[in-house]
Structure 1
Amino acid sequence: MSVTPQASGDAGERTGLRVAYGGGVYPAEEIARGAAYELFSADEVAGFEWAPRTGSALPWRRFVHVTEVTAVHGAAEPAEDPDTPVMMPAHRERGWAQLHQLSQRPDAAGDPMLTAARSSAVIRRGTRMVKVLSPRQLAGYVRGWLPHGFCYREHDVAHLRTPAATTLLRTDGEVSRDGLDVAYALRWRASDPGDYDVPVGEAHRGLSTLPPRDRLGAPVLGTGFVPSNSQLIPEFVTRDFADLPMPANATLLAYPAEGVEVVLYSYQAEQRGWLRMVGPQWRHLLAAVPGLSPDQEYVPTGDAPRSTQLVGAYAGSEYEAVADLPGGFRVLAMTRAARYPVETVARRLRYAHWRGVPCLVLREEAGWLRLRLCRPDPETVATTAAQCHDRGVYETWAPGAEVTDDQVTDLPYTL
């Protein structure tokens, strides 16, 4: 379970980690393998918040991204290669403040400096991805939802560790209740860079033109960055807004007001369910989740038909596969001896057209198909009467007899 120790305010004293920030050097604790740091101070410092913890002599703290610090002293060698941060081309007259301003202007989407900065944020196989959830969404993922829609690299959002800080990443459109004391998130490893897209350019222009009455969450700027007054965070979408197969060991997380990370559940691919990881001292964090008992040890996702799956070949036969990264892809099997590495792997999903609109087929019930729009815009949303269920995610029901070009497609990964 990933939680900060009770006396974490003195973590820098114990480990020797020091971080230079804003003209000072502070004891610190590493977050997300060096993507961010929690800084501590015995005295009040501008921008730090009062957050005393039992046993700590450093009651002031601040979370900062690695790109905000000027030096790190005493850090251990990383266990794996870090993700590349957003990088800006050197420019005599333009700095980070100007880049942020451009990222918030839809008419600047084609600016060369903005384009170069956005292209520096890349996803590779094994990149940790994050989607911030509401209590309702957390309940949905525990019961079987799959990763889809807008999401972010953990590297870019690791410094957002409190419910208030993660608000700008929410995609549900729900109004945060007063006194919100916990935020939730899904974290998983990317199986393939081709599963993701950047919401910029002509293919995604329709997202930027959808009126407020037809969308949830923050507007889509079309620059590839999150709408924010101060943060420069690249955003991604799953390609065609498709569901992605849940990788092994994905986790559901909670971020209470204390700023710690609590692992609530871990995904067990063979059992198709979520194993509870949280101890008794943190189970109260699940109280706001509808329909979920904090005392339930294991929650199966059910046997409902899935909108997508991984398929792999081994010894001339096809099997359902699972991404078990960073190790690779293997046969999905209950017994360890049968978990062979697959020789090829592909993501299988179902496409169709309805009223001329390209869609994904999510499921079929009594002759009706549940569809999700691949490229939502005002015209396709009106044509299909699709409803927005998550930022950028539009779904509708269609009579099966009216659907055309209904076909199952395999999108192969390169191994």
Structure 2
Amino acid sequence: MPGTDPAAERIRVRYEGSDYSAEPVAKGAAFEIFSVTPVDGFLPNPRPGARKLYRRFVPAAEIYVIEGRPPVPQEQPLSAPVSRGLSWSSVHQLSQSSHADDGGLLVARIRLSAKVSRGTRMVKVLSGRQLAGQLHGWLPQGFCYREYDTAHLRTPAELSVLRSDGDDGRADPAVFALRWRAVDSLDYQVPFAGDYAGLTRMPPADRLGSPVLGTGFTPSGQHVIPEFVTANLADLPLTAFAELVAYTEDGTEVVLYRYLPEQRAWGRMFGPQWRWLFAAVPGIAPEQEYFMIPPAPTKLMGRHRGQDYEAIADPPGEFRVLAKTRAARYAVETLYRRTPYVTWRRVPCTVVRDEGEWLRVRLIRPDAESVTQLGASCIERGIYETWAPRAETAGYRDVDTEYDLGPAVAPVS
């Protein structure tokens, strides 16, 4: 009927030979499918009064829509030249080991089919300690994923493969995640062995989390999940309305906080029934409404009428001057990320905190030798930091990464 919201239409899908009613998840990246009877792999449906008592989350690429018009996701799925000689299980095997022969070229070609563009929804799985860090000013950093590739993973057990804190085997009742939108593909790199060889060779005693394979895929005995790192492992400024979320054992997603850029604060979004989620979050009072975060050395900057201002990104289409009053939120003509770099003991680093006489520095290409040389500590998978006396560092400079603000590919509704 004219005027009907497509999102409200009945959707039925076919999955593994059976038909199910379904609802799109993460703008069509995955589907929540429902069953009246218990089926292997399905979870209890926690919705009060639900007629279909079981549900499962599946990737959009694994289902066939037989009725309805679900949203078309902005992102493209991972693609591989699957044939009789190259099954999907073979692709998984290739993703889990490094190859110096033609297999390496093939797995790299498959991996590069997963791309980030302006507006791509990115996620980073967090422990309780990391959630507390985000609320106190940590920024997106290190290993992360497209939501498109992970939206079907909804329980702590399923999401454990993406944890970076070294506790990937823990059976927590809830796990957390940071979700934001990409400003530009320039902010993300594929952690291939050629660029991040030091991480692939890091001794187990010097790392947290799962090993870095160098194929661009996360280690997993079941999934083929492309992984990214923030460029040079540096911080990225938060985009407008980024979210901190929790996932419970029954697959429920709870939005905990939303980032309010003009206030430089995380605003609480959850009700009192979810306070139990914070039992494993150190130093956070769940009744606190706002968490103000301090300015960081890495900033998003924009130019308006010849003047440089701190800016806000609201991808894919809005980039404006950071201002509390609406009348001063001018659109910027150019946009760039400003990141401070420094060299200490001949090791290049980014600056993540500036305390005057002391700088908190992060290695941009960690390896066992440089980690030992600087006495750096691994704070999460791939991230190595230490304090450096400012007087002993050299070459402190701001490096600007300018973005192309030309037309973006708009998400399809």
On whether the aligned pair clears a TM of 0.5, the verdict is yes
Q: Deviations over 1:107-161 (max 9, x none)?
A: 3685233122101100001100000000111011011111000000000000001
Is the aligned partner of 1:124 residue 2:149?
no
Q: How far apart, in 2, do the equivalents of 1:312 and 1:270 lie?
A: 15
Q: Is the 8 A contact 1:386 1:395 kept in 2?
A: yes
Q: Distance in 1 between matches of 2:280 and 2:44?
A: 26
Matched, 1:57 2:47: no
Distance in 2 (CA, whole Å) between partners of 1:342 and 1:54 is 47
**For 2:104, which of 107, 111, 124 is the aligned residue?**
111
2-side partners of 1:143 and 1:395: how far apart?
A: 17
How much does 1:53 deviate? 4.4
- Aligned-partner SS, 1:287: helix
Q: TM-score, normalised by structure 2?
A: 0.92
Give the match for residue 192 of structure 2: 200
Q: For the residues of structure 2 that align with 1:296 and 1:340, how far apart are their CA atoms?
A: 32
Seen in structure 2, the aligned counterparts of structure 1 residues 334 and 300 have a Cα distance that, compared at 3 Å, is same
What is residue 388 of structure 1 aligned with on the other side? 378
Partner in structure 2 of residue 262 of structure 1: 254
Give the direction of change, closer, same or farther, for the CA distance of 1:139–1:70 in structure 2 (3 Å limit). Answer: same
Q: Which residue of 2 aligns with 1:29?
A: 23
Number of the residue aligned with 2:4:
none
Report the Cα distance in structure 2 between the residues aligned to 1:47 and 1:299, rounded to whole angstroms.
38
Alignment-derived partner of residue 202 in structure 2: 210
CA contact 1:149–1:238 (8 Å) conserved in 2 = yes
Instruction: Tell me whether 149-158 or 202-211 shows the greater mean CA deviation.
Output: 202-211
Q: Percent identity?
A: 53
Q: TM-score, normalised by structure 1?
A: 0.91
Alpha-carbon distance between aligned partners in 1 of 2:403 and 2:204, rounded to the nearest angstrom: 37
Unaligned runs of 5+ in 2: 1-7, 406-413
Residue 8 of structure 1: aligned partner: none
Q: Work out the number of aligned pairs and report it.
A: 397
Give 1:146's aligned amino acid. L
5 Å-filtered alignment, 1:151-162, equals 151-162=144-155
Cα distance in 2 for partners of 1:163, 1:257 equals 6
Contact persistence 1:108–1:223 (CA under 8 A) = no
Deviation larger for 40-49 or 121-130: 40-49
- Pick the aligned partner of 2:285 from 287, 293, 301: 293
Query: Displacement of 1:298 after TM fit?
Result: 1.4
User: Which whole-Å deviations, capped at 9, do the CAs of 1:18-56 have from their partners, x for residues lacking one?
Assistant: 111111011112111111112211123233344464312
Letter in 2 for 1:224: G
CA distance in structure 1 between the partners assigned to 2:90 and 2:183 by the alignment: 34
Q: Distance in 1 between matches of 2:381 and 2:66?
A: 37
Q: Which amino acid aligns with 2:12?
A: R
Map of 1:11 onto structure 2:
none
Report whether the alignment pairs 1:340 with 2:330: yes
